[in-house]
Chains A and B, each alone.
Chain A
C-alpha cells in the first residue's frame, strides 16, 4: 500500500493509529468520520473553507528565502515557510477552520479543545467567536503559567479556559480532561482536537486540513527555486505542522523529510519529549504510536521549554513514516532552540515560536554540513506568546 492512500478503513498507518477509546466514543467517531468524508467531497464545503483560509486566515503564506541566515552558514539555502504570518500566529488555524465548518455541518454548537502552548486554544477560541459557538479550552495549569498571554487572548475571544491540575499539568493532562468532557457531552459537543493525534479519523483529518502547507510550499519551491528542495524540516510535538508540510512531499523520494522533537534538558525519561530515541510503541489518548513510557506501561513525564512539543506520544503517521525510513527524526535541546530563536531574530528580523525554533536549530546545524543544498523550514508559529520565556532565558537582554 502506498503511503499516500493511508490510513486504512480503521485508521491504521501500518500498525499505528487505530481507535483505542471507551465504547461510548466509538459510534460518535464513526459519525465524525462519515461527516468528514462526506464534507471533503462536497464542493461547497471546500469552497467555503478555501475562502476562509484566504480571506480570514491569510493564505497562501509566503515561502521566504532567508538570505542573511543562509549566507552566514555557507552555501546552503534556507527557505522559510511562513505559517507564523497566519491569523492567530500559527498554522493551527488551518485545522480549526476546517473542523468548525464540520462541527456546524454536524449540528454541534458546543466546542471543546485542549491546548499546550495555547496556539491551538487561541485558534479554537477564534473560530468559535467567528461562528458564535460556545468554547471551552482545557489547559494544564503548568502551561497556563508558561503561556499567560495566550490564556488572556482566549478569554478575550470569549472562551472559557478550564485549568487542569492533574498529573504533570501539561498537554497530556489537558487532552485527558477534554476526552472526559467529550465522553460526557458527546451528543452536543464537538471535540476540536488540535494535533495529528488521537483516535481515527483525527490523525487523517488534521493532516488533511494542514496539507495545504506542503501543497503551497511544493508549488512555491518549483516557482521560486525552480526545483524541489533537498530537505523539509519541521518540529514535531503531536506532529500537525510537520505532517501538513511533509505529506505533499512523501511521493517525492528525493526530498528528505526531517522531523525535530524536543530534546529538552537531557536524555533521562522525564527530561525530554524525544519519542523515537526514548520511547517504544504504546497507546495513549486513542492512538497506537511511539510513546514515552516506563517498564510498567505508565506514561512517562516529558519536559520541553516549548509547551507545544511537550507530549509523550507522537502522531501515528509519523511513526509509520519513521519505520518506513521515509522521514527521519532528530531532537534538539532547549538550549539550541533558544539560541536558534535569537539567531533568526538577529539575522532575519523574525521572532519564531519556541516550537518552530527547534526546526530552525536543526537547519542551522545541517546547513554548513550540506553545501549547496536547499532546505525548507516550517516556521509553524510566531514567538509573541513566548516572549516571557525568552526573557527568562536571555537575562542579558532584559536589564533595566
Chain B
C-alpha cells in the first residue's frame, strides 16, 4: 500500500521529511489526571514541539503496559472518562490545533462502542488514526475496513519477535505509519535503548514505504536521538505520563510538560 498523503498524519511525515527531521510522537492517557486537563496538556505537548499525539483510551486490564501507564489508566477510569468524552476532547483540541491525533487503546472498549459508530464519530470529531495494542492483523479485517471507510489511518505494531511473514501482513494492514516496538516488553522507561530496534527497522523497511516510528522504552532525549537515527519518528509515552503524574497537582503543569517535551524535540530539530 502506498504512502497516504491526504491524511494529517501523511502530511505531517511529508513535512518532516521535507525539513529533514524526525517526528516526535507523544503519548498521554486521555482523562489523566482528569477530563478537563487533557486538551490543555495536548496543546502544551504541541507547543513543546510534538508532531503527533497518541491519546490513550484507558482500559481496565492493560496487559501491554508497565506500572506508569497502568496508574494513569486507573486515574483516568476513576475520573470517569468514557470514549464519548474522549471524542469530545478531540473536538476541543481541533478548535485550537491541527496536530494529528491517534486513539491508542485495547480492543474491548472500542469494540464495545462499535467500529462503525466509532469510525464515524472519531472522524467527525477530528481524530486521524487508531492503534489497538491487542488487535493483531489476523483479526483486524473488519475494524480496518470500517476505519478506512472514514479515512482514518490504521496503525499496527511490528515487534522484534515478528517473523518476515508477519511483517508483510503488518505492512499490508497499516496506513499512516508503522509502530516499531523497540524491544520485547511492556511500556515503560529503560536505562538504554534496545539493540533490537535497528535490525527490526531494517527488516520492516523491506516491506513498506510507510514512515516507521519507534517506541516502547524510549525515555531520555539521548535515547530519542539514537532511535531517530534508524526510524522516521520516535514515540515517548511513560516518561511523559510520569511528568503528568509528578506535576498533576501543580498549577503550572502545562508549562512543565511543554518544557519537558522541548528537551526531546530541540535536539531532534537540531539534527
Give A286 to B70 CA distance when docked, in angstroms. Answer: 18
Across the interface, name the chain B residue whose C-beta is closest to A180.
B186
A26 touching B136 by the CB < 8 A rule? yes
Give A23 to B216 CA distance when docked, in angstroms. Answer: 13
In this assembly, does A27 line the interface, its C-beta being within 8 Å of a C-beta of chain B? yes
Pick the most buried of B109, B157, B158: most chain A CB atoms within 10 A of its CB.
Answer: B109
B109 touching A298 by the CB < 8 A rule? yes
Q: Mark A165-195, 1 if CB is under 8 A from B, else 0.
A: 0110000110010011001111100000000
Q: Mark B46-84, 1 if CB is under 8 A from A, else 0.
A: 000000000000011111111000100000010000110
**B156 contacts across to A, CB distance below 8 A:** 23
Give A369 to B165 CA distance when docked, in angstroms. Answer: 57
Give A296 to B170 CA distance when docked, in angstroms. Answer: 28
The majority secondary structure among interface residues of chain B is loop
A187 touching B110 by the CB < 8 A rule? no
Assuming the contacts A27-B162, A167-B61, asked whether A22 and B112 have C-beta atoms less than 8 A apart, the reply is no
B111 touching A22 by the CB < 8 A rule? no
In this assembly, does A152 line the interface, its C-beta being within 8 Å of a C-beta of chain B? no
B112 touching A296 by the CB < 8 A rule? yes
Return A166 CB to nearest CB of chain B, in Å: 7
Give A99 to B227 CA distance when docked, in angstroms. Answer: 38
Give A226 to B20 CA distance when docked, in angstroms. Answer: 81
**B136 contacts across to A, CB distance below 8 A:** 19-21, 23, 26
Give A298 to B59 CA distance when docked, in angstroms. Answer: 6
**B134 contacts across to A, CB distance below 8 A:** 20-22, 283, 286
**A256 contacts across to B, CB distance below 8 A:** none
Give A187 to B183 CA distance when docked, in angstroms. Answer: 12
Q: Mark B196-207, 1 if CB is under 8 A from A, else 0.
A: 000000000000
Give A16 to B157 CA distance when docked, in angstroms. Answer: 23
| B: contact size bracket | 35 or more
B166 touching A180 by the CB < 8 A rule? no
Pick the most buried of B61, B83, B166: most chain A CB atoms within 10 A of its CB.
Answer: B61
**A62 contacts across to B, CB distance below 8 A:** none
A284 touching B108 by the CB < 8 A rule? yes
B133 touching A167 by the CB < 8 A rule? no
B170 touching A23 by the CB < 8 A rule? yes
Pick the most buried of B70, B82, B158, B159: most chain A CB atoms within 10 A of its CB.
Answer: B159
In this assembly, does B41 line the interface, its C-beta being within 8 Å of a C-beta of chain A? no
In this assembly, does B195 line the interface, its C-beta being within 8 Å of a C-beta of chain A? no
Return B105 CB to nearest CB of chain A, in Å: 9
Assuming the contacts A184-B185, A184-B186, A297-B108, asked whether A27 and B166 have C-beta atoms less than 8 A apart, the reply is yes
A19 touching B186 by the CB < 8 A rule? no
User: How many residues of chain A get a CB closer than 8 Å to chain B's CBs?
Assistant: 37
Give A382 to B41 CA distance when docked, in angstroms. Answer: 55
Q: Mark B74-110, 1 if CB is under 8 A from A, else 0.
A: 0001000011000000000000000000000011111
Assuming the contacts A20-B134, A21-B136, A176-B63, asked whether A184 and B184 have C-beta atoms less than 8 A apart, the reply is yes
B184 touching A186 by the CB < 8 A rule? yes
Assuming the contacts A10-B138, A293-B112, A296-B112, asked whether A24 and B161 have C-beta atoms less than 8 A apart, the reply is yes
**A60 contacts across to B, CB distance below 8 A:** none
A183 touching B139 by the CB < 8 A rule? no
In this assembly, does A18 line the interface, its C-beta being within 8 Å of a C-beta of chain B? yes
Assuming the contacts A167-B61, A297-B109, A298-B60, asked whether A18 and B161 have C-beta atoms less than 8 A apart, the reply is no
Give A310 to B157 CA distance when docked, in angstroms. Answer: 32
**A22 contacts across to B, CB distance below 8 A:** 63-64, 133-134, 157, 159, 181
Give A180 to B66 CA distance when docked, in angstroms. Answer: 8
Give A25 to B162 CA distance when docked, in angstroms. Answer: 8
B135 touches which of A20, A179, A184 (Cβ 8 Å)? A20
In this assembly, does A282 line the interface, its C-beta being within 8 Å of a C-beta of chain B? yes
B160 touching A24 by the CB < 8 A rule? yes
Interface residues of A in 1-34 (CB under 8 A from B): 10, 18-28, 30
**B65 contacts across to A, CB distance below 8 A:** 180
In this assembly, does A285 line the interface, its C-beta being within 8 Å of a C-beta of chain B? yes
Across the interface, name the chain A residue whose C-beta is closest to B138.
A10
A296 touching B83 by the CB < 8 A rule? yes
**A283 contacts across to B, CB distance below 8 A:** 106-108, 111, 134
A-B contact pairs, 13 of them (CB 8 A): A22-B133, A23-B162, A24-B160, A26-B136, A27-B163, A176-B61, A176-B62, A180-B64, A180-B186, A183-B184, A187-B184, A291-B108, A299-B61
**Closest 6 interchain pairs by CB?**
A297-B112, A297-B109, A23-B157, A24-B159, A184-B185, A298-B60
> Contact residues of B with A, CB < 8 Å?
59-66, 70, 77, 82-83, 106-113, 133-136, 138-139, 156-163, 166, 170, 181, 184-186
